[in-house]
Amino acid sequence: MIFVQLAYAGMALSSKASISKGMNPYVFVAYRQAFATLALAPFAYFFDRKKTEPLSYRLILKIFLISLFGITLSLNLYTYAINYVSATFASASINTIPALTFLIAVAFRIESFSVKDFPGIMKFVGSVISLSGALVFAFVKGPKLNFMNRSNAIYNTNNIITHFTTKEKSIQGCLLMLSANTAWSSWIVMQASLVKQYPAKIRLTMLQCLFSCVQSTVWAMIMDRDKSAWTLNWDLNLFSVAYCGIVVTGISYWLQLWVVENKGPLFAVTFTPLALIFTAIFSAFLWKEILYLGSICGGILLVGGLYCVIWGKNKEEANNIIQKLCDDAKEETNVITTV
């Protein structure tokens, strides 16, 4: 899980570097999904060939639409927004996904909570704190934290100075980044019913990446008809799209799946804040990114809210298990009494 969070930190840093250097964000997504599809295809063939399920036209349409409103929308919003926000904020905003997923699941009655139970209150309060932390991180600056001598500019790996964007663009980028996370959270919620219809998880993920690749390619061609935008050389752009597609979508997916199967989803989620820490450290040293006191406070609220949601969910599941054991014991007692 530490490696996975390093991979997510690398995603924020590499995508930020490529797009800041001038790569079209929509083309970036199209290439990333192409690499992701190629990376997942052999695993889908070898590991899911015994789980082959019939694909009806209705199911294909459903996968296509979920890919469109989930993966394609969220990734295009993410890559467009990252041109106007820091890589640190991009990683920080990921911590809102568990809270957003919980709120969306509650809205669709997939998840539930009770205001009479303390775990339910903690899940709701944690979600609010997490989202508040994201807003504080985005809009509250405060005094600068000068760990090193740095100017009001961000330096990329080629020592090209890219001045900070205007305040309006920064706010726009933050809102788009939160919108991208909302779309991704909605996609996670929609997976619950989709996996029941098509349990071959790796093949399902590969199909969604394939559909997303096609959709993103069409969208990129509509938005930018310059053929030179699709040129890939042996440079940072090629590395970034290959890294995000193969390492983040391919290898990280496998590692998270293995961790969830062996340690449970709660164990996997608790490592999420590490991506923020790694990104903040790398950005400060590599790009001389300025950190503000407001960013630190917002990050603390983000992580604190996340763990409130995790604690409430874990406590609620433990209470349900205890209640089920008590009910089973009562049924056995009633049977014995009847006999």
Say if residues 80 and 257 touch (Cβ distance below 8 Å). no
**Per-residue pLDDT of the chain in tens (339 residues, 90 and over written 9):** 889 889 988 888 888 888 888 899 999 999 999 999 999 888 888 877 776 667 888 999 999 999 998 889 999 999 999 888 888 788 888 878 877 887 888 788 777 666 677 888 887 888 788 878 877 876 777 787 665 444 444 444 444 334 444 667 778 888 899 899 899 888 888 887 888 888 888 888 899 999 999 999 999 999 888 888 898 888 888 999 999 999 988 788 778 767 766 776 666 777 777 787 788 778 877 767 777 788 788 888 888 888 888 888 778 778 778 877 887 777 767 666 666
- Does residue 114 lie within any of the structural domains? yes
Q: In Å, how far from its chain's centre is CA 204?
A: 18
Q: State the pLDDT at residue 63.
A: 93
- Does residue 47 lie within any of the structural domains? yes
- Does residue 234 lie within any of the structural domains? yes
- Does residue 106 lie within any of the structural domains? yes
Q: How far apart are CA 92 and CA 80, in angstroms?
A: 17
Domain ranges, residue 129: 2-309
- For residue 69, the 8-state DSSP code is I
* Domains contained in the chain, number: 1
- Does residue 100 lie within any of the structural domains? yes
- Does residue 327 lie within any of the structural domains? no
Widest Cα–Cα separation across the chain: 84
H/E stretch holding 144: strand 144-145
- Does residue 12 lie within any of the structural domains? yes
Q: How far apart are CA 123 and CA 103, in angstroms?
A: 9
Q: State the pLDDT at residue 169.
A: 77
- Does residue 103 lie within any of the structural domains? yes
Helix (H, G, I), strand (E, B) or coil at 101: helix
**Torsion angle of alpha carbons 22, 25, 31, 35, nearest 10°?**
100
**Cα–Cα–Cα angle for 255, 241, 35, rounded to 5 degrees:** 65
